[in-house]
């Protein structure tokens, strides 16, 4: 630990302008001295007293830093202790008989396992908290002095022989110290000397990379590693490279183009370096996993073939798992099974994780027969289901709202002696919330705490679900307690908390202060995660839409871009809407074009915001142009779009220059109202005949019927009167008019068929959906499962 005697350096005037400018003169007059003693590999600073000015000062000088033994040119030393050093008054007179500081106290010792310098001894685990606080204060003091030295003597640092050694030791001591602004202090030193290859050692840079990974600062860690790899004198450290790739998670890849390119570039640099001691199959496997997680299956296959065919590296079961899971997520089960069979041919035994992945996706697709086949294959490999397998089965029961089956499998877990994990409890908790049974949800939480012998710790996902359960049960006190425990766990929790704070804030100055304070906390590494797009967007929204202060909104937007955080479609839409509210149409158009340059496709809200901007300046032509562009892209207007168009002109005729929704779209609500009031099926038949007549008698092209009106009739037949035959008749009439079914109509038919026990019909609609490139969701599969159960029960009877 940094010696307490360094506190003698700290006085109010230690680094004032007078001392900085006149240090050399003072040394020449032998009125102030600073020594570095190197004895038995222990370092100490020694300080001389300035008798004339009664100031305690220090100075880094090549002469003293290069000294290999204690150098004394004066008999006057300051006698110090940890307490007396800070209490010596600057007005006191030091006597010439002051005793010499002991040379047995090392300048630094490590307090963390990440510091691996043999010259630094570890602190005792029995040290008291008071001692730790004092040590941390001494580290802070040393860094401040170091910073002042660098800032004031930057041109003279090369003349200090032991300065590089001291700098590296200081970084190692800062790492894991727990002082305020620990990471910021480390990065300040790195940023100052990153271009000086002779100062920071490779070992120190490795420690900085590892520390950045702890703080989720992966971009900075990658940049430092890339610079190291480009250094011809650098011998790559395989353990550091493994650690970096282990820290790359699937969410780093999700829709984050900057991070994707950084990781890919780092991988390509490493591949080109051809590092002998590196196990490349680990890196290839990680890259395949990352690409599959972001649905870049073609890129994953390229890595797979390059690994196998070019480098001659045989893929292992982890590599196959990533590919199989990637194909399964994209519902490409044929390809997933193809690689499963390839793995068998290569005599690689499939693991429980691979079986679980396949079973999970076959369950989701209701392919029970395939699941049974996989269970049989599992038995042939003597593989028993583990907690992951059970979690998958419970999850599939939960998404079908079949909590009875979910609990049945949970009890089976307990009875078989398998230890449940937090995923098991989270899935059950979510299931009961989905079915609206908050009491059973809270019972799951009590069960978690009763199973103390399992030592299961709730994570953020579980706590978020628990908080929802408390809120739904109107137990706001416990909800607040849970909420406070997850605020600082990750960026999503923090921004959720910020949203609440923003709602409570009444003026933009307090919100701006809140933003600056949190941004400073991020810069000081107070959170072990960096800010993201959502953090900036919630503040931008507040300034742009609530206070209409576009200067502040743009300031935050530019700060976000400066930090290489990609704005989202939501961010751009908010800015365009803010400029629209201010009537700054040129700016709205500018950011609309910037959105396209960032390869972001505008959505209905972006178009609506731009239409509002043109409406504000009463520019009918450009408003119509934007609206038509939106319609041509098959983006349907929302109510906000139509309200904006209605504000274009008080003149009804002028409003009609914008192509409004057809008459039949407005009539859809008319027919819906009639159907809702109908009391018998004969009335519905009459209404449908009237609807068909209105279609035949209409001569206006714009009044062609749309799918919404037909959907109202179909749902009425299906759910109000439970008549599938009449619903299918309406469906056939719709197809005759070349009106394509939409996603919602398919959902209604599948649900209705399952409800009426027509399971085979529902499967036909699934196939029709797929032919139209619609992807069935969990809700559809839930209805299919209910229909299948109903059919199975009927057959048993």
Confirm whether 727 is domain-assigned: yes
Residue at 618 is within a domain: yes
Q: What is the pLDDT of residue 642?
A: 75
pLDDT, tens only, 730-748: 998 888 888 888 888 888 8
pLDDT exceeds cutoff 90 at 576: yes
Please provide the size of the chain in residues: 797
What integer is the mean pLDDT of 303-325? 88
Are residue 729 and residue 580 in the same domain, yes or no? no
Q: Is the pLDDT of residue 32 over 80?
A: no
What is the arithmetic mean of pLDDT over 616-622? 86
The pLDDT tens digits for 635-676 are 777 767 877 777 665 554 444 444 444 455 556 666 766 776
Residue 760 counted as domain residue: yes
Q: What is the pLDDT of residue 111?
A: 36
- Assign 135 a pLDDT band (cuts: 50, 70, 90): confident
> Percent of the chain beyond pLDDT 90?
10
Q: Verify that 724 and 764 share a domain, yes or no.
A: yes
Evaluate whether residue 137 is within a structural domain: no
If asked whether residues 642 and 685 sit together in one domain, one would say no
Mean pLDDT, residues 607-623:
88
Reply yes or no on whether the pLDDT at 422 is more than 80. yes
How is residue 525 written in tokens? 């590494």
**Residue 787's pLDDT is what?**
65
Please measure the distance between the N-terminal and C-terminal CA atoms of the chain and give it in whole angstroms. Answer: 80
Q: Which residues pair with 55 in a beta bridge?
A: 50
Give the span between the Cα atoms of 685 and 759, in whole angstroms.
Answer: 26
pLDDT of residue 786: 61
Higher pLDDT, 153 or 617: 617
Burial class (CB in 10 A: 0-12, 13-18, 19+), 422: middle
Query: Does position 791 have pLDDT exceeding 90, yes or no?
Result: no
Same domain for 573 and 524: yes
Given 51, 69, 87, the domain boundary residue is 87
Number of domains in the chain: 3
The residue among 444, 364, 428, 355 whose CA lies nearest residue 391 is 428
pLDDT of residue 553: 93
Q: How far apart are CA 559 and CA 537, in angstroms?
A: 11
Report whether pLDDT(539) > 70: yes
Do the beta carbons of residue 606 and residue 573 sit within 8 Å? yes
Domain with 592 in it: what CATH number? 1.25.40.10
Query: Looking at the structure, do residues 603 and 712 belong to the same domain, yes or no?
Result: no
Q: Which two tokens stand for residue 466?
A: 């628990």
CA dist 657 and 651 (Å) reads 11
Distances (CA, A) of 52 to 49, 67, 788: 9, 27, 97
Give the pLDDT score at 657.
43
CA distance 331 to 775: 9
> What pLDDT is recorded for position 36?
34
Last residue in a domain, options 35, 64, 87: 87
Question: Does residue 758 fall inside a structural domain?
Answer: yes
Is the model's pLDDT at 28 over the cut of 70?
Answer: no
Lowest mean pLDDT among 47-61, 236-250, 353-367, 617-631: 47-61
Do 509 and 636 share a domain, yes or no?
yes
For 742, the domain range is: 667-796
| Pick from 118-127, 242-251, 256-265, 414-423: least confident | 118-127
Bridge-based pairing state of the strands 49-50 and 55-56 = antiparallel
Rounded to the nearest integer, the mean pLDDT of the chain is: 75
Q: Round to whole Å and give the CA distance between 443 and 432.
A: 10
Confidence of residue 127 (pLDDT cuts 50, 70, 90): very low
Q: Which residues, other chains included, contact 110 with Cβ-Cβ below 8 Å and sequence gap of 6+?
A: 117, 120, 121, 122, 123, 172, 173, 176
Same domain as 570, residue 540: yes
Among 111-120, 205-214, 337-346, 685-694, which is the least confidently predicted range?
A: 111-120
Binned at pLDDT 50, 70 and 90, residue 407 comes out as very high
pLDDT category at 571 given cuts 50, 70, 90 is very high
Mean pLDDT of all residues in 350-358? 87
Residue 642 shares a structural domain with residue 694: no
Residue 186 located in a structural domain: no
> Tell me, what's the pLDDT at 552?
93
Tell me, yes or no, whether 636 and 774 share the same domain.
no
pLDDT of 279-296, one tens digit each? 888 888 889 888 888 788
Distances (CA, A) of 267 to 64, 232, 257, 276, 510: 45, 18, 15, 15, 45
Higher pLDDT, 472 or 303: 303
pLDDT tens-place string over residues 43-64: 333 333 333 333 333 333 333 3
My answer on whether 620 and 505 are in the same domain is yes
Interior angle at CA 289, CA 286 and CA 295, nearest 5: 145
Q: What is the pLDDT of residues 78-102, one digit of tens each?
A: 233 233 333 333 333 333 333 322 3
Predicted local confidence at residue 67, as pLDDT: 28
Predicted confidence at residue 178, as pLDDT, reads: 79
Of the candidates 695, 694, 701, 696, the one whose C-alpha atom is nearest the C-alpha of residue 659 is: 701
What is the predicted pLDDT for the residue at 651? 52
The separation between CA 608 and the C-alpha centre of its own chain, rounded to angstroms, equals 29
212 has pLDDT over 50: yes
Which range of 36-40, 131-135, 702-706 scores highest in mean pLDDT? It is: 131-135
Mean per-residue pLDDT for 530-535?
A: 87
At 182 the pLDDT is: 85
Highest mean pLDDT among 20-34, 93-107, 532-546: 532-546
Cα gap 722→724, rounded to integer Å: 6
412 burial type by CB count under 10 A (0-12 exposed, 13-18 middle, 19+ buried): middle
What average pLDDT score do residues 157-181 get?
83
784 inside domain: yes
pLDDT at site 793: 62
- For residue 292, tell me if it sits in a domain: no
Structural domain ending residue among the three candidates 53, 72, 87: 87
Query: Do the beta carbons of residue 688 and residue 700 sit within 8 Å?
Result: no
784/687 same-domain check:
yes
Is residue 505 located within the same domain as residue 644? yes
């Amino acid at each position: 630990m940094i010696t307490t005697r360094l506190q003698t350096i700290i006085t109010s005037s230690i680094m004032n302008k007078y001392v900085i400018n006149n240090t050399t003169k003072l040394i020449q007059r032998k009125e102030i001295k600073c020594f570095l003693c190197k004895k038995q590999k222990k370092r100490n600073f020694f300080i001389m007293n300035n008798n004339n000015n009664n100031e305690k000062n220090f100075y880094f000088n090549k002469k003293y830093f290069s000294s290999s033994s204690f150098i004394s040119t004066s008999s006057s030393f300051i006698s110090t202790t940890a307490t007396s050093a800070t209490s010596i008054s600057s007005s006191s007179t030091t006597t010439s008989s002051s005793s010499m500081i002991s040379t047995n106290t090392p300048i630094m010792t490590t307090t963390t396992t990440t510091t691996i310098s043999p010259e630094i001894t570890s602190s005792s685990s029995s040290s008291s908290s008071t001692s730790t606080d004092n040590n941390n204060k001494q580290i802070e003091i040393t860094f401040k002095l170091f910073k002042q030295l660098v800032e004031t003597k930057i041109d003279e640092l090369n003349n200090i022989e032991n300065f590089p050694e001291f700098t590296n030791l200081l970084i190692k001591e800062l790492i894991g110290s727990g002082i305020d602004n620990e990471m910021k202090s480390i990065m300040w030193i790195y940023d100052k000397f990153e271009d000086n290859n002779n100062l920071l050692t490779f070992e120190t840079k490795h420690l900085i990379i590892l520390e950045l990974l702890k703080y989720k600062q992966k971009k900075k860690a990658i940049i430092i590693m890339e610079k190291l790899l480009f250094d011809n004198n650098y011998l790559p450290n395989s353990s550091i490279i493994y650690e970096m790739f282990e820290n790359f998670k699937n969410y780093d890849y999700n829709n984050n183009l900057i991070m994707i390119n950084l990781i890919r570039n780092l991988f390509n640099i490493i591949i080109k370096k051809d590092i002998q001691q590196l196990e490349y199959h680990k890196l290839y496997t990680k890259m395949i996993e990352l690409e599959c997680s972001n649905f870049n299956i073609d890129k994953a296959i390229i890595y797979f073939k390059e690994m196998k065919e070019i480098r001659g590296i045989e893929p292992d079961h982890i590599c196959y798992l990533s590919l199989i899971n990637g194909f399964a997520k994209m519902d490409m089960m044929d390809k997933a099974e193809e690689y499963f069979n390839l793995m068998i041919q290569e005599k690689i035994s499939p693991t429980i994780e691979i079986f679980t992945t396949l079973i999970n996706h076959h369950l989701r697709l209701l392919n029970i027969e395939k699941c049974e086949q996989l269970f049989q294959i599992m038995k042939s490999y003597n593989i028993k289901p583990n907690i992951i397998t059970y979690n998958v089965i419970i999850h599939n029961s939960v998404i079908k709202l079949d909590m009875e089956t979910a609990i049945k499998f949970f009890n089976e877990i307990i009875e078989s002696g398998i230890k449940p994990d937090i995923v098991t409890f989270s899935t059950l908790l979510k299931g009961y919330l989905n079915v609206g049974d908050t009491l059973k949800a809270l019972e799951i939480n009590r069960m978690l705490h009763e199973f103390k012998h399992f030592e299961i710790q709730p994570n953020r996902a579980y706590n978020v679900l628990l908080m929802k359960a408390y809120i739904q049960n109107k137990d706001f006190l416990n909800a607040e307690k849970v909420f406070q425990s997850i605020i600082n766990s990750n960026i999503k929790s923090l921004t959720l908390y910020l949203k609440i704070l923003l709602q409570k804030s009444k003026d933009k100055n307090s919100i701006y202060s809140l933003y600056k304070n949190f941004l400073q906390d991020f810069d000081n590494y107070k959170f072990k995660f960096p800010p993201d797009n959502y953090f900036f967007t919630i503040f931008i929204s507040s300034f742009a839409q609530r206070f209409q202060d576009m200067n502040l909104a743009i300031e935050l937007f530019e700060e976000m871009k400066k930090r290489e955080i990609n704005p989202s479609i939501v961010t751009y839409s908010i800015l365009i809407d803010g400029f629209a509210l201010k009537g700054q149409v040129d700016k709205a158009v500018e950011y609309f074009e910037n959105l396209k340059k960032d390869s972001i496709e505008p959505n209905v809200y972006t178009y609506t915001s731009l239409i509002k901007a043109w409406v504000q300046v009463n520019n009918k032509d450009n408003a119509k142009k934007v609206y038509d562009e939106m319609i041509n892209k098959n983006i349907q207007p929302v109510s906000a779009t139509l309200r904006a168009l209605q504000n274009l002109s008080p003149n009804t005729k002028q409003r009609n220059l914008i192509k409004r929704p057809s008459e039949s779209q407005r009539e859809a609500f008319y027919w819906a109202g009639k159907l809702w009031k109908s009391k018998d099926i004969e009335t519905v038949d009459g209404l449908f005949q009237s609807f068909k007549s209105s279609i035949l008698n209409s001569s206006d092209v714009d009044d062609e019927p749309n799918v919404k009106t037909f959907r109202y009739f179909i749902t009425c037949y299906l759910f109000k009167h439970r008549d599938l035959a009449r619903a299918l008749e309406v469906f056939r009439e719709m197809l005759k008019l070349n009106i394509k079914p939409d996603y919602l109509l398919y959902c209604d038919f599948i649900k209705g068929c399952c409800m009426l026990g027509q399971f085979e019909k529902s499967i036909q609609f699934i196939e029709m959906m797929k032919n139209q490139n619609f992807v069935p969701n969990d809700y559809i599969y839930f209805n299919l499962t209910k229909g299948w159960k109903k059919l199975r029960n009927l057959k048993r009877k």
